[in-house]
């Protein structure tokens, strides 16, 4: 699939005209990064916007002692790196691949040129930033007001999919990653998950997926 066709799959660039899409398609670069590799680190100078074509990444921060917190998990069609391109500050977080990933990368000058060509693109970027701010507000609320059971339940629901009238978690969600998202230990998350399973909130399926009882989890 050529770059133009790949760009059309990314909602961020859906607002571009055909002519503008052609211009961007000529300057993007494909990049493949294997699982478990660092895309960039917090503090690095920003030069590139990343569009995820395939795979998943995690956005994380770490303190001086190496303790990590996962801020977000991003998948196909999403993008990252735009904040530093807008304010010209160093990267605010580290991004690591959770799976083998394929990206389209856009250099800073080309990204800013695209913003100039199409004001609606700037509006899409702003809506994306507002969405992430709202998600950050929800995470802060969760950490402040919910116990560990409630925080685990919120993560499970966030990463699940609605299939008909069933809420199903299909992607593997390592206990350690859940712990980094909610500010708890891996051991605590394992105990909570086991308790939710014993109480019927979670029902493991033969294909490896997990059936979630959404209404009960939402009330935790």
> Does 135 have pLDDT greater than 80?
yes
Q: What is the rounded CA–CA span in Å between residue 16 and residue 8?
A: 9
The pLDDT of 116-120, averaged and rounded, is: 85
Please report the pLDDT score of residue 216 as a whole number.
Answer: 87
| Helix boundaries (H) for 28-147 | 82-87, 108-117, 119-145
Asked if residues 60 and 68 have their Cβ atoms less than 8 Å apart, the reply is: yes
Q: Residue 211 to residues 10, 108, 152, 205: CA-CA distances in angstroms?
A: 29, 43, 15, 7
25-70 pLDDT, tens digit each:
989 999 999 999 999 999 999 889 999 999 999 999 988 888 899 9
Q: How far is CA 199 from the centre of its chain?
A: 30
What pTM did the predictor assign? 0.83
């Amino acid at each position: 699939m050529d770059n133009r066709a790949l760009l059309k799959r990314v909602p961020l660039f859906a607002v571009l005209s055909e002519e503008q899409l052609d211009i961007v398609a000529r300057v993007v670069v494909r990049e493949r990064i294997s699982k478990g590799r660092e895309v960039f680190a917090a503090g690095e100078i920003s030069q590139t916007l990343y569009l995820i074509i395939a795979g998943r990444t995690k956005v994380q921060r770490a303190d001086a002692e190496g303790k990590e917190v996962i801020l977000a998990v991003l998948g196909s069609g999403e993008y990252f790196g735009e904040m530093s391109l807008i304010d010209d500050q160093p990267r605010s977080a580290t991004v690591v691949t959770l799976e083998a990933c394929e990206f389209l990368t856009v250099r800073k000058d080309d990204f800013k040129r695209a913003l100039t060509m199409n004001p609606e693109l700037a509006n899409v970027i702003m809506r994306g930033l507002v969405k992430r701010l709202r998600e950050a507000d929800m995470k802060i609320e969760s950490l402040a007001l919910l116990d560990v059971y409630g925080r685990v339940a919120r993560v499970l629901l966030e990463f699940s999919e609605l299939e008909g009238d069933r809420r199903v978690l299909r992607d593997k969600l390592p206990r350690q990653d859940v712990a980094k998202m909610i500010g708890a230990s891996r051991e605590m998350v394992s105990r909570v998950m086991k308790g939710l399973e014993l109480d019927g909130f979670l029902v493991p399926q033969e294909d490896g997926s997990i059936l979630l009882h959404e209404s009960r989890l939402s009330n935790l």
